[in-house]
Structure 1
């Protein structure tokens, strides 16, 4: 094929529908949309909002109020012109406005502000502050509804722009009803929607609503959605909850300062945004209070503390906050202070910091809905929205049906798996176990050790259970050496503890261990990252040892020991089970032609920590014709960058030839042949990034192949695996989830492009979320059935599990590899202020240079260390 740099690739069209599998009738949360005015059009205008002095308005949230005021003030000049405004720079109308460029002046009262009074004192801020705004509205282009019609007919069309307008109308509709808008999800400030998840944070249940072009026509996708909000109320109480302390003197004010920045509060009957904390407590923090002018016109001012000011001139004697820092709502050179006890958090503020493990568990619990509950909630949300009463939608000729869309699914047969002693079996309901089964290929483990960082753990029960389970699975597991941390070391920093005990282990083992079983003191222990790094990284400190971590648990039954052994065996090069078709070399398009399977993912900093480097991971199959063995290549790259940048490095580098060179070398070494087919599964990208995957990432992979050998021209298939979507499927007359293996490629899929939904796993709790696969490119020439069966089978080769998983194993492995190597970086040492400078070896957000991750040690580089 030509290099992608010679021609721009676009997502491929569907070649046909699948036919294999038992048919099942389903319904989905898509609702039919009728278009009465297919010849209508929207007019797109750009919006610019300025203060009276000409400065552009940058504060979020003001624009929508300004545009509403324009519509209200100048209604006579805009008769019957409904506005759909995105809250920033785009405005859409039905029919054109009077002129191509319009200018308006409007006055808004009681604007939320951070403006400080003349002297920075709290009482000089006008509680009825008003501002004048200048608004410029300029014609941009016309958007035809026919674009949507053309797309539904499978014709080339820029229909996304028209659908974007319709989605903005939905946002406008929700904004008028006082909802919090989070992209296309909407949240009402109602008590019944809130669920406390701890730490001053609430899960707020709302709904998602967006238009989609599908094979069955235009549809409205409605689903339930949950976002995180701060618990409104007294600010001091929030801090105590957030830091889980019951006394004010236990608050960590360094942590509190990071938490409070940019939060909105109410004080002095006005709303402000917090900019920081004072350096001194209220009783000591002074400011210059200007008390008017004397007879000579000179400004009179006195230095007074914040506490004294409120007691003398406001009649408020501070109880809790005299000894606490003040809340600063001013600017660095013009602070404006309020005592913290007089501040309350306003409602509907999103919480964007990282969650604790208990908060994450609570969020999952409060977000979960069984299928019948979710169906009822979706119906209620659509009915309560009353979209058909919206004037702009009606004027557009759009009406929305109230019935769930009916679709036909197919339940694919679970693949047959092969285990030890050449035994085959077929999983039932997406699950199986290893009772009376042996591992397909088991590792022989004679040299291993247990490293115990936990004060209380019965090692004898653990060893006997593991050895008993290993024997029943056909695995040889010798007697381990046991190393326990000295009690005095438990007070030392995590890195010191790890290095000390690791050195003891290596000194006393007498030989290089095959693997180390590490007992952590608790879940989410700070021991985990340093322990993984010293064992796996090639940075001169460790010796390259496969390791498995566990935390103390009361549950130590046979299933527990089996699950541990599955991970250990896979990490040591064993194989727990594999596909029977893989063993028999009968996988269509894969077994007869050397085929490399890649899984690609990029993980970013958690919410509130977006300044940390992103981690790109690519896993690749090895030992063809097997497709159940993988190894990983991982790199750090600039924060928030989704496209993988190190797939190919055109300049020869003795240290790093790029990810693909590393993986291609491994495939050739373990398979004896170059891959002629390369199947790529990419996770974590949105539809707007599909072209970049084809024309940036695929191009790098092709260049890597050409650099390897100019005449080498493998065929590629590129598939996106999406979990972040809102389509759900239900059995029409049953309360349980759809069966594992359910596949849908009709009615609600793209009208032209090649995509399908698959629920490979058994949804035991909540409502099953299908994976949405988009086949962007297919030179190999898979039929719809062959490709869907390959995808389904790859959900059964995840070596650490005895269940089918919800996405193909290579993608899950890439996610795990990225997450594990992210532990190598001490992210806590990178300050949030790194947006403008370099810290700790990591460059700031937006710069191309990022400190490299340590390379994996050669002893573990080819292992499934991530399993």
Structure 2
């Protein structure tokens, strides 16, 4: 079964209380200083379905959800207040934004790395999606501490009292209730002013003390830059949805699939190698054009008996958007017994129904009085902020975001969506430059930015990258010839033998009577494509089933697998996940043997049979311990390790960590282990056991322990970087020493691999703009001064813009120069045997991902150690 097909089958892979306002249902807690958003007109709704579908689609009463008494209504507490005002005293949600933005990056650059730039390769002029922030050479920002006497608890009141002195402070300022930022320096070090509180006519003394003169690249300045820019985005009619900004008025409809594509931008302002830059990239929000309630109508009309189960399966875990406030929420449950006419308490103690609330605050008339409510549970950060109760959302007012598994498996849907979301380099550059020029030409933006003495450059950043030399790829009989810009050598492999071919002498094929013809034809094709690759594929032991029940497959596996069986192949009539999971669990845990699962529709196209059989034969060879191709690896006694994690679908909050370690000098044979984790400690315990097993196996194979170990750690977000650097790396080093004895002290490098980045790079080809060729390295200008990092474009894409991968070396005692680290990383991107070309991440990371994915989605248990030295998870 191919990786893409398997992914589709499984379903794919974050103050005071004086004047607080009532909490809106389905809305995150607002800071007290934030005025309510403008009332949006109600969205147009489709004509309701027939009365039979509206009045009784719940299918009868349900038991109350555990933990909530029948009829109990939520009381929504008020969150801790926190806001900062920008410009003319208007309030904005800075408390939340501060939590989203990291002001100080963890410094992980090894002390001995003075110059992290490489020199190997040809220079390549590039354009990056960054804009310089322009300001005067002697520009500074001034920070002040503000005290109130007598003490004023309400932040909103403190802001109002201070801003009575606009003549002194000016109209450009930023204040969070305690700290004040100004673009100008006040005349005195300490300034005292007086304001009157209107509520009781009490005079308040305000003491403004200068505490710091901030340079342009200070963390506090970066904080203010981002806050200012978010306000700028609002000035050009962009709406914040999640963390990014979108323009709802430019949404593109795809009516044949009931979808909308809303364009927007993801932005951040940070200190890079030499200066402060605005990173800006195109983003798209995909929405259903119909409401969640419309989807529930469709489900109910298709099958009333299974409605509850289907609705729960389809909606729980999804992300919805409430268009009245442009916020996104995760659906954690469906409260079948709650209705729009149910009431909840406001903070003044009065009660109001959900229906009346939306009519009063948003002028929205709720149409269906019988709809249940969606439940969104508070996240950890919400609980820390004081929100402990659930949020309740009306399906009628919610739209689904993203694409369902069924939509992702539909070629036509992905093709039509991709026509709007896959933007080529030329179109991307045009959109970005037009966006920044629109900002620079807007009168309100110029007034706001000019008050701070800031401006963005009109053009994108120009910089130089390097193209690494093309790697030589070998199979039995010689070197493959291919073009580096294509990054694909599938044609060159034809007729050439694999590096290490394993004969398939004893194996079983299981199929239903309906698929017997396809299975037999496929076996014959396999026997023809195997010998040219060096594989002898004998006739299998056939096992025909009369039905396709899970138990029938398990019974056949139980009766067929003996100690002599090398492999089991199952041809399935459909790609049902539970059947696939049952087969994989049995063959990976209960009776460990490599297995191959193929869906019958993959074998339907006769003209593609040879191609499919060739790819399957290569997979079978890998699962049996063979090797397909190899590269020149000049480093000796080297072990490379890949670590990745994946969500465990059987236990919420738990993850599976995959650990892959190389066992030979060519980096083509691997040992694998996995660990189940709920916390960092569990992850480290699992890594320690996995590394000890890998080192023991390496010693068994090679007769010695590796001199160098380079770990590629995937699955780490920005917020987890300090934890990895401060806790995971020391324990990882300790596990090496304990595994090899007290005198064993290998040279170690730890590299963080990051794929979810917004940096993009473009190359010129004459008058055209194209994607950079594979092998392009960027290690200047847009890297971080506190990191030993680089960007690598390792793969080729035929549509849209290529996404680079960001590598951050957080520990390095290997003695390798930056050129060596970059070239080794690029080499490893050639060694993933499931694709005859380069991939986006090093092969050990991708193997670790495949292992964690298989265990997290299907097995949910530790695979047998008998399979640990083979790539059985491909």
Higher alpha-carbon deviation: 416-425 or 458-467: 416-425
The CA deviation at 1:767 is 0.6
What is the Cα deviation at residue 536 of structure 1?
Answer: 0.8
Distance 1:686 1:287 in 2: 40
What's 2:803 paired with? Answer: 769
CA distance in 2, matches of 1:450, 1:249: 37
Question: How far apart are 1:749 and its partner, in Å?
Answer: 2.4
CA distance 1:736–1:616, shift in 2 (3 Å): same
Question: Conserved in 2, the CA contact under 8 Å of 1:263 and 1:274?
Answer: no
Matches within 5 A, 1:685-704: 685-704=716-735
Partner of 2:170: 80
Taking structure 1 as reference, are residues 466 and 147 closer, same or farther at Cα in structure 2, changes over 3 Å only? same
| Structure 1 CA distance for aligned equivalents of residues 537 and 329 of structure 2 | 64
Does residue 1:469 correspond to 2:509, yes or no?
no
Against the structure 1 CA distance between its residues 683 and 449, is the aligned structure 2 distance closer, same or farther, given a 3 Å change threshold? Answer: same
Rounded Cα–Cα distance in structure 2 between residues aligned with 1:336 and 1:789: 50
CA shift for structure 1 position 720:
1.7
Give deviations 1:60-114, integer Å, cap 9, x for gaps.
xxx9xx799959985858853445589x99985546999899999999xxxxxxx
CA distance in 2, matches of 1:562, 1:336: 53
Matched residue, 1:601: 644
Q: 1:245 to 1:448 in 2, by over 3 A?
A: farther
Query: Which of 380, 396, 408 is residue 357 of structure 1 equivalent to?
Result: 408
User: Residue 507 of structure 2 contacts residue 540 of structure 2 at CA under 8 Å; is this kept in 1?
Assistant: yes
- 1:382 maps to which residue? 436
For the Cα contact (< 8 Å) 1:39–1:145, is it kept in 2?
Answer: no
Matched position secondary structure for 2:263: strand
Q: Which residue, out of 438, 441, 448, partners 2:507? A: 448
Picking from 774, 779, 784, the partner of 1:745 is 779
The 1:636–1:139 alpha-carbon spacing in structure 2 relative to 1, beyond 3 Å, is: farther
TM-score, scaled relative to structure 1: 0.71
Q: 1:628 aligns with which of 632, 648, 668?
A: 668
Question: Please, which moves more after superposition, 72-81 or 167-176?
Answer: 72-81
Contact 2:161 2:195 in 1 (8 A): no
Q: Deviations over 1:146-166 (max 9, x none)?
A: 262xxxxxxxxxx44432331
Give the 3 Å change call, closer, same or farther, for CA 37–688 of structure 1 in structure 2: farther
Matches for 1:285-684 after TM superposition, within 5 Å: 325=372, 344-345=396-397, 357-358=408-409, 361=414, 366-386=420-440, 389-423=445-479, 425=481, 428=484, 429-433=486-490, 434-452=493-511, 455-456=514-515, 458-487=518-547, 490=549, 497=550, 499-508=551-560, 512-523=564-575, 525-537=577-589, 542-551=590-599, 552-553=601-602, 554-555=604-605, 556-579=608-631, 581-582=632-633, 587=634, 590-591=635-636, 594-604=637-647, 611-623=652-664, 625-638=665-678, 643=680, 645-648=682-685, 658-684=689-715
CA 1:563–1:330 in 2, change beyond 3 Å: closer, same or farther? closer
Give the number of equivalent residue pairs.
717
Cα displacement string for residues 634-681 of structure 1 (whole angstroms, at most 9, x for unaligned residues): 11111xx5x5744447xxxxxx96222122212211221112211111
Q: Deviations over 1:5-38 (max 9, x none)?
A: xxx9655545242222232222111122223164
Q: For residues 612 and 548 of structure 1, what CA distance do their matches in structure 2 show?
A: 30
**TM-fit CA distance, 1:765:** 2.0
Aligned counterparts, 1:202-221, within 5 A? 202-221=260-279
Rate the CA distance shift 1:857–1:326 in 2: closer, same or farther, 3 A: closer
How does 1:742-821 map onto structure 2 within 5 Å?
742-751=776-785, 753-821=787-855
Distance 1:513 1:521 in 2: 24
Query: In structure 2, the residue corresponding to 1:658 is in which secondary structure?
Result: helix
User: Could you tell me how far apart the structure 1 residues matched to 2:662 and 2:685 are?
Assistant: 18
Change in CA separation of 1:779 and 1:217 when aligned onto 2, cut-off 3 Å: same
| Matching residue within 207, 215, 234 for 1:146 | 215
How much has 1:741 moved relative to structure 2?
Answer: 1.2
Whether the 8 Å contact between 2:161 and 2:197 is mirrored in structure 1 is: no
Counterpart-to-counterpart distance in 2, 1:777 and 1:272: 38
> How far did 1:402 drift?
1.4
8 Å contact from structure 2 (residues 855, 861) kept in 1: no
Q: Evaluate the alpha carbon distance shift between residue 524 and residue 503 of structure 1 in structure 2; reply closer, same or farther with a 3 A threshold.
A: closer
| CA gap 1:323/1:249 in 2 versus in 1, 3 angstroms | farther
CA RMSD of aligned residues (A): 5.0
Q: Deviations over 1:377-405 (max 9, x none)?
A: 22222223338834453333322111122
**Offset, 1:514:** 0.8
Q: Please tell me whether the aligned partners of residues 508 and 542 of structure 2 are also in contact (alpha carbons under 8 angstroms).
A: yes
Residue pair 2:319, 2:329 contacting (<8 A) in 1 also: no
Maintained 8 Å contact 2:250/2:263: no
Structure 2 stretches lacking a partner, 5+ long: 1-106, 200-205, 345-352, 357-364, 379-388
**Gaps spanning 5+ residues in structure 1: where?**
1-7, 57-62, 108-136, 149-158, 289-304, 310-317, 491-496, 650-655, 826-852
Note the C-alpha offset of 1:212. 3.3
Asked if structure 2 preserves the Cα contact closer than 8 Å seen for 1:185 and 1:209, the reply is: yes
SS in 1 for 2:656: strand
Match of 1:168 in 2: 227
Seen in structure 2, the aligned counterparts of structure 1 residues 91 and 23 have a Cα distance that, compared at 3 Å, is: same
Q: Residue 716 of structure 1: which of 748, 751, 762 is its match? A: 748
Partner-residue secondary structure (3-state), 1:823: helix
| Pair 1:262–1:144, CA change in 2 (3 A) | farther
